[in-house]
With several copies, the nearest count.
Chain A
Amino acid sequence: MACEASLAESAFDPSAEITRFTAAHALAGGIVSFIGQVRVGEGVEALELRHYAPLTLPGMVALAEATVTRWALDGLSIIHRSGVMLPGEPIVLVLAAARHRRDAFAAADYAMDHLKSESWFWKREKIAGIWRWIEPRAQDYADLARWDRSV
Chain B
Amino acid sequence: MPLRLVFLGRLEDAAGMGATALDLPAPATLPEVLARLPAALAAALADPRLRLAVNGALLAADAKPLLADGDELAFLPPVSGG
Contacts and interface: CB of A to CB of B under 8 A. Distances in A.
Direct contact of A and B (CB under 8 A): yes
A71 to B, nearest CB: 20
B58 A55 contact: yes
Contact of B9 (A91, A117, A122): A122
Nearest to A123: B80
Interface string B5-37: 010111011000000000000000000000000
Q: Is the interface of A mostly helix, strand, loop or mixed?
A: mixed
Interface stretch (B39-47, B61-69, B70-78): B70-78
B81 interface: yes
Contacts of A120: 8, 76, 79, 81
Contact of B79 (A91, A112, A122): A122
Contacts of A33: none
A116 B82 contact: yes
Given A52-B6, A52-B8, A133-B10, A122 B55 contact: no
B81 A123 contact: yes
B3 interface: no
Interface residues of A, number: 26
Contacts of A118: 79
Contacts of B9: 50, 122, 124, 133
Interface in A97-136: 112, 115-124, 133-136
Nearest to B57: A54
B56 A91 contact: no
B56 A50 contact: no
Given A52-B53, A54-B53, A54-B55, A119 B8 contact: no
A55 B79 CA distance: 12
B10 A121 contact: no
B82 A121 contact: yes
B62 to A, nearest CB: 19
Interface of A: 36, 49-50, 52-55, 80, 91-92, 112, 115-124, 133-137
Interface of B: 6, 8-10, 12-13, 53, 55-58, 74, 76-82
